[in-house]
Structure 1
Amino acid sequence: MWMVLLTVILLTGLIAAMLLYNRIRSAQAEAAFPPAGSFITVEGTRLHYIRKGEGTPVVLLHGGVLWANDFEQVVERAAACGYEAIAFDRPGYGYSERPPRTTPADQARLIHGALKQMGVEKPIIVGHSWSGLLALTYALHYPDDVSGVVTLAGAMYKEGYPAENGDPISRLATAPVVGTIFLNTVPGSPLGTALARSSVRQTFAPEPAPEGYREAALALWLRPGQFRANREDILAFPSAALEAGRRYREIRCPVVIVVGGEDPFGTREQAARLRRDIPHAELREIPHVAHMIPQLHPELALEAIDRARELSGAAAVKSISSETRGARCGEPRS
């Protein structure tokens, strides 16, 4: 009896110590990498975003690791080229809060609500990696409120997704009680740090990670809350992609698909499949480019955004022309 009680006391003390350690560590990380933008509250959830420039609105949604700053160079280039560029920290990442239920559809709804509050109308939605699904989900749920979609090394389908059949680490990290212990011990440990370094290398490979990215990943990605958000997204992806994938053919706005010829994550196959499902989409496979396009090749992202804007403008002109012809055809004869 006394041994059991002692074990419980020691375990409780260890958990309390790790919680305190991670709180201090998170505070240090946030001091080293503070928020660079503004905040907006939607449905009680506080979202952080970066907003620069004036002109055609473009919304930039990062993948499964860091935050809005993944698009820092794209934001700067877009703002200088006639765009109002808005990059969000997705719910649970960076400095955005995360509500208890946060599927891709939930994230799309929160971002849509934020844009409505901000007075942003019919943006081009850009999704990198995991957010390829999010960008397409947004277009499916709000077809009248989007002028185009760009996917950059996007993941869009359950089949071929690295965790299509589940992920043991994600299930452990999101489990009740045990997950809390795991999140407050393993990610911030030397083992977790080593695995994170390896993950960053693999994510950029065969290209090198830019200076400072690894440090930001070790500081922010390994925070318990953000690590859990990432693992929840991994688990939510297969079923959400399966549901959305059945409806991709319904998307009517311009779609530009960009993928690197050396991307190691199966995104080339997903890009080709999306092109078949959306016949009017344009597919661009770029030689000698891997997965992390926003960080290493912001010019390619901007070229795709330019093309989506061009196609959207052409579609609008065609629609107006058709309406005009219809009106003329309906005019009574003299």
Structure 2
Amino acid sequence: MHTARFLHTNGLRLHLLDYGGDGPPLLLLHGLTANAHAFDGLLAAGLGTRFRVLAPDLRGRGASDDDDSYTLADHAADVLALLDALRLARVALVGHSFGGLLAYYLAATHPQRVRCIVALDAAIAAADPRVRDQLQPALARLGQRYPSFEAYLATLRAAPYWGGWWDPLLESYYRADVRRQADGSVEPRPRPAAIAAVIEDVLAQDWSAIVRAVRQPVLLINAPGPYGPPGAPPLLSEADAHATVALLADGRYLRVPGNHMTMLYGPGARAIVKAIMGFLALDGAAS
């Protein structure tokens, strides 16, 4: 169970899922066009049993306010303001995809606020222009109107990156993804222009320098399954993930089942939660 809250921070109203708990704080940062419900599979797999889990919608996603600027510095300022509002001096970060890149950026630029990082399929290779091409099927839904939520779900179930796979928990994630119109039609909340601005700013960063500046312990969890039908390449290969781990001062690697998206559900989610528990216990964050 969680409590949905709105906090006014950094000039925006940010939406937050607060799962409560008395354990150490664990802040979850979602992917490029996602929202806080992207982690429902991890919570269902038991992530909230030992930590105070907090999952915000980043600016312009989910129920958080839209804005005119979408740089990494903007996103980092939102997260820091959120931590201040919650009176949290230092947290462990779990970031998926773009959320993992944001976690690296926060750890490098504000090291006193980040205890450690669990990066889910987030590596320097994710900031390659070729990845933008691989992401096009996921980005294609933006800026479109669908006659109903059911029609929207049907379109998504056929998306190549799911490869015919589906989990019922995806419905809550996609419900949080859309804005309903009076006629019953729906539109995805993230604006194409905003997401394009995020991508361009990510591509402009010196990620080798950023990752080398991260001194905190990092666990990079990689799901190198096909990002699409059988035979499709992964979004993040094992070799590319290892290349990022090699740049980290204190990095380690773990492979889990699934691909860039399916890893957050089912067997992948259970493996991730087990790994997070062990990693944070080793780091001391779970004590």
Q: Which interval holds the TM-score relative to the shorter structure? A: 0.7 to 0.9
Paired residue type of 1:50: L
Between Structure 1 and Structure 2, how many residues are aligned? 261
CA distance in 2, matches of 1:165, 1:216: 21
Please identify which structure carries the higher strand content: 2
- Residue 220 of structure 1 is matched in structure 2 by 177
Contact 2:28 2:93 in 1 (8 A): yes
Structure 2 residue matching 1:209: 3-state secondary structure: coil
Q: 1:266 to 1:298 in 2, by over 3 A?
A: closer
Structure 2 residue 190 is matched with structure 1 residue 244: no
- Residue 149 of structure 1 is matched in structure 2 by 117
Contact 1:200 1:209 in 2 (8 A): no
Of stretches 258-267 and 146-155 in structure 1, the one that deviates more from structure 2 is 258-267
Structure 2 residue 94 is matched with structure 1 residue 131: no
- Residue 79 of structure 2 is matched in structure 1 by 111
CA distance in 2, matches of 1:151, 1:258: 6
CA distance in 1, matches of 2:90, 2:66: 25
Kindly name which structure, 1 or 2, has the bigger radius of gyration based on alpha carbons.
1
CA distance in 1, matches of 2:174, 2:63: 14
Structure 2 residue 174 is matched with structure 1 residue 204: no
- Residue 259 of structure 1 is matched in structure 2 by 222
- Residue 51 of structure 1 is matched in structure 2 by 18
The offset of 1:279, in angstroms, is 4.8
CA distance in 2, matches of 1:313, 1:212: 31
CA distance in 2, matches of 1:195, 1:56: 36
CA distance in 2, matches of 1:215, 1:166: 22
Q: 1:63 to 1:188 in 2, by over 3 A?
A: same
Aligned mate of 1:283, from 234, 253, 270: 253
1:290-327 residue CA offsets vs partner (Å, 9 max, x unmatched): 2222233322222232233234229xxxxxxxxxxxxx
CA distance in 2, matches of 1:72, 1:166: 22
- Residue 188 of structure 1 is matched in structure 2 by 145
- Residue 13 of structure 1 is matched in structure 2 by none
Structure 2 residue matching 1:47: 3-state secondary structure: strand
User: Which 4+ residue blocks in structure 1 deviate beyond 4 angstroms?
Assistant: 164-167, 193-196
Structure 1 residue matching 2:22: 3-state secondary structure: coil
Contact 2:216 2:249 in 1 (8 A): no
The offset of 1:132, in angstroms, is 1.7
The offset of 1:64, in angstroms, is 2.5
Q: 1:285 to 1:160 in 2, by over 3 A?
A: farther
Q: Which runs of 5+ in 1 are unaligned?
A: 1-34, 174-181, 315-334
- Residue 6 of structure 1 is matched in structure 2 by none
Please identify which structure carries the higher helix content: 1
Instruction: Give matches, 1:1-334, under 5 Å.
Output: 37-52=4-19, 53-75=21-43, 77-80=46-49, 82-157=50-125, 158-159=127-128, 161-163=130-132, 183=143, 187-189=144-146, 197=155, 201-205=159-163, 208-211=165-168, 213=170, 217=174, 220-221=177-178, 223=187, 225-228=189-192, 229-240=194-205, 243-264=206-227, 265-268=234-237, 269-286=239-256, 288-292=257-261, 293-296=263-266, 297-313=268-284
Q: 1:71 to 1:279 in 2, by over 3 A?
A: same
Q: Which runs of 5+ in 2 are unaligned?
A: 179-185, 228-233
1:209-261 residue CA offsets vs partner (Å, 9 max, x unmatched): 21262685377357364133434323332113xx2332211211110000113
